[in-house]
Amino acid sequence: MKKCIKTLFLSIILVVMGGWFHSAHASDSLSKSPENWMSKLDESKHLTEINIPGSHDSGSFTLTDPVKSVWAKTQDKYYLTQMKSGVRFFDIRGRASADNMISVHHGMVYLHHELGKF
């Protein structure tokens, strides 16, 4: 009985964790040239009438620590590559540093790059 419960528990854990590692890219569902998708929009549409592809915690592609990556890495592509994939909205969480730079974070995790002076 204990072995059955352990097997069931481990199976549930693996199924749940499998969802964390799913990769979704804008280019998966867009045309062959996702970088130009906006040029095909109907100009009469209001901003509220279109869906703009974005990326969550856009700067987390720099994470290499395996422990932090499990819960903090949501992107694996650099900003420009994300744009070429059709992304037009970036979720960048910055903090002002002592030298007037914007350091990029995911919650408490520093992502090891800055956006520049402000």
Q: Which residues contact 112 (CB under 8 A, 6 or more apart)?
A: 62, 63
Most distant CA pair in the chain: distance in Å? 65
Residue 46 annotated in active site: no
% helix, strand, coil for the chain, step of 5: 40, 20, 40
Find the catalytic residue in 56, 105, 112, 113. Answer: 56
Q: Smallest Cα–Cα separation from 35: which of 22, 53, 47, 56?
A: 53
Count of other CB atoms within 10 angstroms of residue 62: 14
pLDDT, greater one: 91 or 34: 91
Find the catalytic residue in 25, 106, 112, 113. Answer: 106
Q: For the segment 7-33, what is each residue's pLDDT rounded down to a tens digit?
A: 656 556 655 555 544 455 544 555 577
Residue 113 annotated in active site: no
- What's the confidence (pLDDT) of residue 22? 47
Q: For the segment 48-101, what is each residue's pLDDT rounded down to a tens digit?
A: 999 999 999 999 999 999 998 888 999 999 999 999 999 999 999 999 988 889
- What's the confidence (pLDDT) of residue 3? 66
Tell me the pTM. Answer: 0.65
For 68-109, the DSSP string reads: HHHHH----S-HHHHHHTT--EE---EEE-TTSEEEEEETTE
